[in-house]
Amino acid sequence: MKLWQKNVVPTAEIERFTVGRDRELDLYLAESDVLGSMAHITMLQSIGLLTASELQVLLAELRRILADIRAGEFSIEEGVEDIHSEVELLLTRRLGDVGKKIHSGRSRNDQVLVDLKLWTRRQLREVVELVKALFDALQVQSEQYKDVLMPGYTHLQVAMPSSFGLWFGAYAESLADDMLFLQAAYRLVNRNPLGSAAGYGSSFPLDRQMTTDLLGFDSMDYNVVYAQMGRGKMERNVAFALASVAGTIAKLAFDACLFNSQNFGFLKLPDECTTGSSIMPHKKNPDVFELTRAKCNKLQALPQQVTLIMNNLPSGYFRDLQIIKEVFLPAFDELKDCLRMTTYIIARIRVNEHILDDPRYDLMFSVEEVNRLASNGMPFRDAYRKVGLDIEAGQFTPQKQVHHTHAGSIGNLCTAEIASQMHQVLEGFPFERVDEAERKLAEG
Ligand code: ARG
C-alpha cells in the first residue's frame, strides 16, 4: 500500500523501477527521518493540529522506532516505498488513526530534504573529526622528522633539498585548507528546509522557526522554492568538499607509493602494513595506499556525478533527484575508511634517515652553493654560471648542510601557525549546540 494509493494500483514493474534502491538506501536516512518527524509533530501540536496527548503518544512511539533503528532492528518492508512511508505505516499500525495525522503540512519532498540535511550534517562531522586526526598524525611526523632531509623534485628530476618535515607538514596544511571547504559545506547543510512541503509551502500556519530550533539548524532555507532547489545543490557542494579532502589523500597516497618503492627508498611501511604476492616471495606491496589512491580518485568524480544527474532540471521536485542518493550516501563511508587507514599507516610509517648518503642526490645542493657565493657578494647569475661549469667539469662537492630560515621552509616549518589555522576553522563548527538539540529532541 502506497501513501498515495487510491483506486489504481501500479503494476509490479512500475513499482520495482520507481522504488529502485530506496528500501536499501533510505536506511541511511532512517534516524534522521524520525528526528525530522519528531520536530514536525511537536510543531503541529503548537499550532493546534495535534492535541497534547496525541503528541505524547506519537513521540513515545517514534522514540521506540528510533531505538530499533539504533539497535539495527529496523527495515523497510516489502511493498513499502521508502523510509517516510515505513515510519507512517508503523505509527498507524501501532497507534491507529493518530498515525495518519503526522503528515499534515509536509510532503515527502521536504521530508527527504530534511533527512538528507540531518544525515549529511552528522556525516560531515565525522569526516571533520577524521580529517583532524590525520592532520594531527601528519604534524607529529613532520615535527619528529623535521631535521631529516630528502630530495625535492621538479619534473620528477632531483631538484633541491626538501625534508620529511616539509613533506608531512605539506599534507597537514592541505587538510587545513580542505577543512574550510568542509565548513562551508556544513553551513549550507545546516539550514532547515522543513515546511517547504512539496516545494511551495502550506496553507497551515507552520512555525518553521520552531522546527529550525528543535533540529539545531542555524537558520532555515527561507524561500520554499529555493528550499526545494537545494536538493542536488546541497549534495553537489558537499561533494566538492569531500573531493577536496580526497584530492589531498590521493596525492599523499601516490607520494607514499612512489617513495616506498626500492628505487626511491625514502619511506618504509612496516611489513604488517603491506601485502604479498602469490608468485614473488619477496614482495611487500603498499596496497593500502594504492586502494586509497583509487578510491579517492573515484571520490573526486562525485561532484560531477551529482551535477550530471541534476544538471538540467528546472526548479521544483523531480524523481531524478532520488538517484543522487545512490552515489552520495555511500561516498561518506568510503572517504571515512580511507581517512582512517591513511592515519593508521602515517602514524606507523618510518623514514630513511640516510638517503642523502647516496651520491645520486649530490646535485640537489647546487642552489645552496650558488646562494652561498651570492651571499658572499658574487652576482647571482655569475655564481649560477660558476656552479654550473663546476658541475659539468666534475668539480662540484656538495655541502650537505642547509640553512633555510624563512617561514614555511625546511628550517622553519611553522607547524604551530598551521595548527592554529586549523584550530580557528574547527572552532567555527557548532557541533555541541547541534548535539544538544538532537539529544533533547530524541530524549524529550
Ligand atoms: N524517494 C523519493 C526521493 O528520494 C522521496 C520523495 C518522493 N516524492 C515524490 N514526489 N515522489 O526523492
Residue 291 has pLDDT above 90, yes or no: yes
Query: Which of ligand 1's atoms lies nearest the C-alpha of 84?
Result: 5
Instruction: Give residue-wise pLDDT tens across range 112-149.
Output: 999 999 999 999 999 999 999 999 999 999 999 999 99
Query: Is the CB of residue 172 below 6 angstroms from any atom belonging to ligand 1?
Result: no
Domain ranges of the chain: 12-101, 108-357, 358-409
Q: Measured in angstroms, how far is the CA atom of residue 226 from the centroid of ligand 1?
A: 17
At residue 280, the pLDDT reads: 85
At residue 1, the pLDDT reads: 66
Which CATH architecture does the domain made up of 12-101 adopt?
Orthogonal Bundle (1.10)
- What is the band of 172 on the pLDDT scale with cuts at 50, 70, 90? very high
Residue 85 has pLDDT above 90, yes or no: yes
Query: Is the CB of residue 317 below 6 angstroms from any atom belonging to ligand 1?
Result: yes
Instruction: Give residue-wise pLDDT tens across range 208-237.
Output: 999 999 999 999 999 999 999 999 999 999
For ligand 1, atom 4, the nearest C-alpha belongs to 322
What is the arithmetic mean of pLDDT over 163-176?
Answer: 98
Q: Measured in angstroms, how far is the CA atom of residue 65 from the centroid of ligand 1?
A: 21
What is the arithmetic mean of pLDDT over 404-409?
Answer: 96
Per-residue exposure over 233-245, b if at least 16 CB sit within 10 Å of its own CB, e if not:
ebbbbbbbbbbbb
Query: Which of ligand 1's atoms lies nearest the C-alpha of 321?
Result: 12
At residue 228, the pLDDT reads: 98
For ligand 1, atom 10, the nearest C-alpha belongs to 109
Q: Which fold has domain 108-357?
A: Fumarase C; Chain A, domain 2 (1.20.200)
Is this prediction's pTM over 0.85?
Answer: yes
Q: How far is CA 316 from CA 88, 227, 312, 319, 395, in A?
A: 24, 10, 12, 10, 74
Query: Is the CB of residue 322 below 6 angstroms from any atom belonging to ligand 1?
Result: yes
Q: Measured in angstroms, how far is the CA atom of residue 111 from the centroid of ligand 1?
A: 9
Query: Is the CB of residue 235 below 6 angstroms from any atom belonging to ligand 1?
Result: no
Query: Is the CB of residue 22 below 6 angstroms from any atom belonging to ligand 1?
Result: yes
Please give the Cα distance from 383 to 372 (Å, whole number). 9
Query: Is the CB of residue 109 below 6 angstroms from any atom belonging to ligand 1?
Result: yes
Q: Measured in angstroms, how far is the CA atom of residue 108 from the centroid of ligand 1?
A: 6
Q: Measured in angstroms, how far is the CA atom of residue 259 from the centroid of ligand 1?
A: 48
- What is the band of 173 on the pLDDT scale with cuts at 50, 70, 90? very high
